[in-house]
Chains A and B, each alone.
Chain A
Amino acid sequence: MAKQLIKGNEAVVKGAILAGCRFFFGYPITPASEIAEAAAFYMPRVGGTFLQAESEVASINMVYGAASGGVRVMTASSSPGISLKLEGISYCAGSELPMVLVDIMRGGPGLGNIAPAQADYNQIVKGGGHGNYKMPVLAPNSAQEMCDLTMQAFELADQYLNPAVVLADGFIGQMMEPVEFPRAVEKIPDKDWAIHTDLKDESRLISSIDLEPEMLEKHNLKLQKKYREIEANHVQYEDYKIDDAKIILIGYGVVSRVLYSAVDSLRQDGIKAGLIRPVSLWPFPKQHIADLALKSDAFLVVELSNGQMVDDVRLAINGVRPVHFYNRMGGMIPSPEEICQQVKKL
């Protein structure tokens, strides 16, 4: 199909609709607002519903309600708004409701600013909300992937009855690139657990409460089993010039784009650099990183945060090779030249 030059944020909405999503509940926040705006524009044209809620708290709970009815539904926000949604996300995870959440990260803490950042890694990947839950977290680095990974998030959410997240930064949301849109999903999976209006099955209940510790432990064990299954089957990453790499760079989202350029220019200078880009932040490609550790000399993790993903890299490498870290914060973004300098200093 033909290519369209489009913002990442808008590609999310078209991807979602192609994936069968017809319900969007949102609340404006820069740099994620184009997602709500595009949903407001396109949802009514495809027989769907867009509603601007009174807050992020309300919007995630509207998602919870709609998901209970078995439809594909989503919400999107940026960092401060995601903080507000966390209670609701935990409810969705506890009640095993599929839904898709998009976070276009911005600078923090507090109100911070609207420039790109990656400081929500811990809050999204490590839980954030209360309780022992996990969510598949997909990290696009292009407008095309904003569409493709949003679609994939809907599939994962339905397959595992779990919230799934697309985690991007302000740049990936605001950037325009050509996107080739895939075909629309024709039928969304039957959801025999959902609340229906013909109560053939009287046990239909969406809830996350269980007062009996034995029962709640059982429920937790079931969730953990599900998470292990996701870990075993849905690790995604991209390698770039990794085969003979001695120094391996690791970054996701817009950082990975800067790192492609850095790897190319390091190689021109005779340094054997390569890149691992985690596409799924959870499950994290820890085995892959561990495997490559033995073949390389050192790692450099680059993040737009105080060092959040780097902890997962260190766990994966487990001390067998040095793991260096370089970061920018507050909306700053490193240039390829800056990265090259860092590598040359190692």
Chain B
Amino acid sequence: MAKVLQKANSFYDIYERKSGMNKDITHYCPGCGHGVLHKLIAEAIDDFDIRDRTILISPVGCSVFAYYYFRVGNIQAAHGRAPAVATGIKRAMPHSIVISYQGDGDLAAIGGNNIMQAANRGEKITVFFVNNAIYGMTGGQMAPTTIVGQKTTTSPYGRKPENEGYPVRMCELISTLEAPLYVERVALGDPRHTNKVRRAVRRGLKNQIENKGFSFVEVLSVCPSGWKMTSEQAKDWLQEEMVKYFPLGVYKDESSKVETTEAKPHVFTIDNINENLSIPTRESASDKVEKKPQQQYRNPKLIIAGFGGQGVLMLGLGLAQAGMEAGYQVSWIPSYGPEMRGGTANCHVNLSTERIGSPTVSQPSLLIAMNAPSLDKFEKQVVKNGMILYNTSLIDKKPERSDIESVGIPATEIADELGNTRVANMVVLGAYIGLTGILDKKTLFQALPKFIKRNAMIPLNEKAIERGIEFVQK
């Protein structure tokens, strides 16, 4: 019996963090349910001997100051976000015991999605949900759990379903989900009820100690101040009105079906880090550019365009990859997002022996047009004395400009001859290096595996490049 009178060890002896005088009593109103629940939790922490690894998340609400009292690791969370904060710390410290302590406004209104999602992920945390049918902290406004007809400062005529809907039953909602392990609603009140709360608190914590899963304990609680009642009236109202709408009981309990395991702390390591990050450690790129193409082909700025599926992004990528390995500065930038879904695609590529300024190309020195709309769209932008390579298989007219060099390549036909329309892009790439000497074939072949994911496709791509080179050198 003596133990009952003693303050739990998981409470501070003196509440130093509390402002003002009276550092030996809590800030809760007389008769408030929060204090009773705190005590039951603190005693459970003591009895399970988990104080040194317990982390309590205080919500926004009257229990925002739970950290005044609990001698554990404490985190204070934004309104409604305790389950997300709990998720973060539990993932970072899987061996800790994380408690998300929340009121009904916090959990069922502003944080409604956060609690459902944490429950649905089966986060291995314990949630204590204090349902007092009102916003206590802010002075008695309506909560999502306010009973139909109940008067609050923001439902002065009583809660009306046609305006505010019905009270939210969280246990019922959460127990429809697959992942939660244990869901129970209990109520504070007489010793018999309080005993049930004590048991539920312990079950919720034990599940986490055994690393089993998500536990949710809803505690119907009184708020005499918010309800504008005496403590006695409040107790009666809870039993008579609240319990009617929020039936008590176990809504889900799978704890006996799940094995106890041990949660291992996160261990920081950098073993094999480069390999795991696919960072090349061997030098493959040279720093000096060996090739010296003719003046007009140096430091090209390219726009490569076509319709989706023609591999224009890959063409640019191949050029940039091989260019980098040949020692050029390179950049590649795609048109991205819905623009690509419309069926057209283009990318801008720079290869340069000098630092690349603007990665976007407004005045290309080279346009590769894989289809007619691309030629129409970009021909005007090509610089004087620039070059256009175009796919004559799909474009049946010639570029109109006479101040540029233009070369037509039946890329799609050649690709079809090789048995795969999709390598038309590599035929053009071959034609480009064959014409300009910007890269040699060997470098390009060496780079192929970096941008072509399927190894089996490499010989075909090589052949397409060769056919492109042959075509322009004939």
Contacts and interface: CB of A to CB of B under 8 A. Distances in A.
A215 B357 CA distance: 51
B89 interface: yes
Contacts of A136: none
Interface in B35-72: 51-53, 55, 57-58, 64, 67, 71-72
Given A58-B81, A184-B270, A68 B317 contact: no
B85 A64 contact: yes
A53 B362 contact: no
B283 A2 contact: yes
A207 B74 CA distance: 8
Nearest to A72: B268
B334 interface: yes
A57 interface: yes
A23 B91 contact: yes
A175 B89 contact: no
Interface residues of A, number: 84
B92 A65 contact: yes
Contacts, number: 246
Given A31-B336, A178-B324, A261-B358, A47 B89 contact: no
Contact of B52 (A175, A197, A264): A197
Interface in A9-61: 14, 17-18, 20, 22-23, 25, 30-31, 42, 45-47, 49, 51, 53-55, 57-59, 61
A346 interface: no
A315 interface: no
B286 to A, nearest CB: 10
A209 interface: yes
A254 interface: yes
B52 A114 contact: no
Interface in A172-220: 174-178, 181, 184-186, 188, 195-199, 202, 204-209, 211-212, 215
Contact of B96 (A171, A197, A206): A197
B84 to A, nearest CB: 4
B273 to A, nearest CB: 5
A1 interface: yes
Interface residues of B, number: 74
A115 B277 CA distance: 28
B331 A61 contact: no
Contacts of B261: none
Contacts of A51: 87, 91
Contact of B281 (A2, A23, A204, A338): A2
B266 A71 contact: yes
A25 B355 CA distance: 35
B78 A88 contact: yes
Given A20-B268, A184-B273, A206-B75, A65 B281 contact: no
B333 A175 contact: yes
A336 interface: yes
B51 A335 contact: no
B399 interface: no
From A42, A57, A68, A174, name the one whose CB has the most chain B CB atoms within 10 angstroms: A68
A335 B359 CA distance: 10
A171 B281 CA distance: 27
A185 B269 CA distance: 10
22 contacts: A3-B280, A5-B320, A5-B330, A14-B277, A46-B276, A58-B117, A61-B85, A61-B114, A62-B88, A65-B75, A65-B90, A67-B88, A175-B359, A197-B265, A199-B52, A207-B67, A207-B74, A207-B75, A208-B76, A261-B357, A262-B357, A337-B363
Given A91-B78, A338-B362, 19 more contacts: A5-B330, A18-B277, A22-B266, A25-B88, A30-B336, A42-B277, A45-B277, A46-B270, A49-B91, A58-B84, A58-B87, A62-B87, A64-B85, A65-B75, A68-B85, A69-B88, A199-B51, A260-B358, A262-B357
Interface of B: 12, 17, 19, 51-53, 55, 57-58, 64, 67, 71-78, 81, 84-93, 95-96, 113-114, 117, 265-270, 273-274, 276-277, 279-285, 317, 320-321, 324, 329-334, 336-338, 355-360, 362-363, 450
The 7 A-B residue pairs with the shortest CB-CB distance, nearest first, are A65-B88, A261-B357, A335-B362, A260-B357, A62-B88, A61-B84, A207-B76
Interface of A: 1-5, 14, 17-18, 20, 22-23, 25, 30-31, 42, 45-47, 49, 51, 53-55, 57-59, 61-71, 73, 87-88, 91, 95, 114-115, 170-171, 174-178, 181, 184-186, 188, 195-199, 202, 204-209, 211-212, 215, 254, 257-262, 264, 333, 335-338
